[in-house]
Structure 1
Amino acid sequence: MVSANEKVVKKKRFLSEEKKDRISAYLYISPFFIIFAVIGLYPALYSMYLAFQKWNGLSPMEFVGLNNFKIVLMDPLFWKSLYNTIIIGLMGTAPQLVVGIILAFLLNLSFLRFRNFFRVTIFMPYITSMVAVALIFSVLFSNHESSLANYVLGVFGFDPVNWGASEWGTKIAISVMVFWRWVGYNTIIYLAGLQSISNDLYEAATIDGANKFQQLLYITMPMLKPFIILTVFFSTVGALQLFAEPTVFLGASAFTRDEAMTVVMYLYRDAFKLQSFGTASATAIILLFIIIIFSALNTFLTSGVGRKKGEAK
């Protein structure tokens, strides 16, 4: 028979300090995984299941196979929403990445006065309430001839634009809103990347005779590449999931007009306006693959930033 002392020794071996620390660590991080499983993983898996069902939220589900995907892909409004999403994404996202890098360089200049003030100011639009954003841009892009946007156009000799009703007027207004709201976010990320580059590299390059352009080309851009890839990835995903800006700008008519309807708005309309959760889930799956394709493509293109000619990949 096993003695009491041997049982105590076995219990101590089973609950060693290393295992206790490991259990404690898992308990500390478990809330994140529990919350993620409840509000992230489960809805995603359930949405995949709904993509193959016909369901209005009340009646029993009916398995329809790939019919929901067929309905979505044959709907001209879906392709219109995808076109709108890509166009607004390009107009609002691509400029903010370029301007963000330029602003980051300016805010990183050692002789610039009130740098902290400018850094806080450039980041303010990102944390501004969407209600405030809606009020600001409804005034800036008002259909009235005296609105600020139309006044600027008039200075350059252009006719006033009906921003809230015209095809391209709506797209431009929403793109400017996206640019204004997110350019500061990308600027701060680029600024953090610039400040992470050691001054010793620039001093060594100066001693070796490299000019400012060569330092930018062979030191700054290669060191900044991880931050560029990060912002391009986040901007691509954000642009393809555009929802808040067009909804806020167009107001109550957002889901009844197609000139600025995005894919996420199309998905939302199907689910909560038409109670067609099957086609909405199918749209979500299609959007997922579109995001993967565009993100992979943009990451591949930006991975060459700062790479020397002839350098091995």
Structure 2
Amino acid sequence: MKQSARQRSGLWNRFVYSQKIAPYAFVLPFVISFLLFFAYPVFNTIMMSFQDVVPGETKFIGLDNYRKLFNPTFFKAIQNSAVYTFWTLLVLIPLPLVLAVWLNSKIMRWKNFFRSTLFIPALTSVVVAGTIFRLIFGELPGSLLNQIVGLVGFSPHRWLFEASTGMLALVMLAVWRWTGINILYFLSGLQNIPNELYESAEIDGASTFQRFWNITLPLLKPVTIYVLTISIYGGFAMFTESYMLWSGNKSPNNIGLTMVGYIYQQGLEQNKLGMGSAIGITLLGLTMILNLIQLKFFGLFRKED
């Protein structure tokens, strides 16, 4: 009996401490999580996009859901998401990059104070932030923005009832909330650049701009690509900000309707889960294509010399 117990203990130890099995044991939790919470939902959504799903009944209808996507509301949602993503990319990459360079500079004072201050908005609930911005951009004369424009002689404006000013409110909310996060990404990249490179360039007579252009930007390329990738995803996945600004998913003339908002409208509000699944798969394909294009454009798939 003792021998068999020892043998079992030895087999168990060899199994647990095996160098061949250990890597699989470590990645097993991720694989299980990926299969349960990503692969299965995506597969199930693809199947549902070809079905008419109503309570108690599921019917296969082929490509009908995808044919129904060609409507003005769907194209409006794509346009809004694309415009929002464009403006957030235009602001939320160069602005945090410049601020990160300043915060990483040796001559910058009170670095920790400014880092903390700029990061605080990221800790704020998007529901709270959206409510505050809805009050700032309110249509009443007493709203903050109308009071400001009133000081310079302009009449009160209905900011959230026009496409241009409504998009301005969404972009300003995104900039306020996510600038600190992107600064953190760029700061982590900047602090991994050896100071010797800047010192050598300074000895060779390179100006501040030349050091930034020829050293900082090239070495920050991986971080920039990462920020660009998650920003494209975040732009097309935006929903809560729009929902809070317009107190629901029904903005005037759909000026705040996004792709995710359209999924919510069709899948939950109108109980068309098949249609919502088709929109979700289309959104997934669109964001994947855009990210693959930008990754190819920035040379991530190209072998370095």
TM-score by length of 2: 0.88
CA contact (8 A) 2:237 2:260 kept: yes
Match status 1:66 vs 2:82: no
In structure 2, the CA distance between the partners of 1:44 and 1:19, relative to structure 1 (3 Å rule), is same
Displacement after TM superposition at 1:91 (Å): 2.3
Partner of 2:101: 105
Q: Which amino acid aligns with 1:208?
A: D
Unaligned runs of 5+ in 2: none
**Structure 1 residues 114-153: aligned runs within 5 Å:** 114-153=110-149
Q: Deviations over 1:27-75 (max 9, x none)?
A: 444333323322222111100110111112x132111111110011x22
**Structure 1 residues 209-224: aligned runs within 5 Å:** 209-224=205-220
Match status 1:50 vs 2:48: yes
- Structure 1: distance between partners of 2:29 and 2:15: 23
Displacement after TM superposition at 1:20 (Å): 3.3
- Structure 1: distance between partners of 2:58 and 2:152: 58
Displacement after TM superposition at 1:76 (Å): 1.1
Match status 1:254 vs 2:250: yes
Q: Which amino acid aligns with 2:179?
A: V
**Structure 1 residues 268-307: aligned runs within 5 Å:** 268-303=264-299
Partner of 1:165: 161
- Structure 1: distance between partners of 2:251 and 2:139: 20
In structure 2, the CA distance between the partners of 1:145 and 1:92, relative to structure 1 (3 Å rule), is farther
CA contact (8 A) 1:228 1:302 kept: no
CA contact (8 A) 1:96 1:183 kept: yes
Partner of 1:174: 170
- Structure 1: distance between partners of 2:203 and 2:290: 42
- Structure 2: distance between partners of 1:168 and 1:199: 44
Report the count of equivalent residues.
301
Displacement after TM superposition at 1:260 (Å): 0.8
In structure 2, the CA distance between the partners of 1:28 and 1:300, relative to structure 1 (3 Å rule), is closer
Query: Larger deviation: 93-102 or 148-157?
Result: 148-157
Displacement after TM superposition at 1:296 (Å): 2.3
Name the % identity: 30
Partner of 1:41: 39
**Structure 1 residues 59-98: aligned runs within 5 Å:** 59-72=56-69, 74-98=70-94
- Structure 2: distance between partners of 1:253 and 1:113: 44
- Structure 2: distance between partners of 1:303 and 1:126: 31
Partner of 2:236: 240
- Structure 1: distance between partners of 2:42 and 2:67: 20
- Structure 2: distance between partners of 1:70 and 1:89: 26
Q: Deviations over 1:171-213 (max 9, x none)?
A: 1111111111111111111111111111001111122222222
CA contact (8 A) 1:225 1:303 kept: no
- Structure 2: distance between partners of 1:29 and 1:271: 34
- Structure 2: distance between partners of 1:22 and 1:121: 48
Displacement after TM superposition at 1:131 (Å): 2.9
- Structure 2: distance between partners of 1:284 and 1:253: 17
Displacement after TM superposition at 1:252 (Å): 3.0
TM-score by length of 1: 0.86
User: SS state of the match for residue 252, structure 1?
Assistant: coil
CA contact (8 A) 1:232 1:299 kept: no
Displacement after TM superposition at 1:19 (Å): 6.0
RMSD of aligned Cα (Å)? 2.8
CA contact (8 A) 2:16 2:22 kept: no
Displacement after TM superposition at 1:230 (Å): 0.7
In structure 2, the CA distance between the partners of 1:289 and 1:158, relative to structure 1 (3 Å rule), is farther
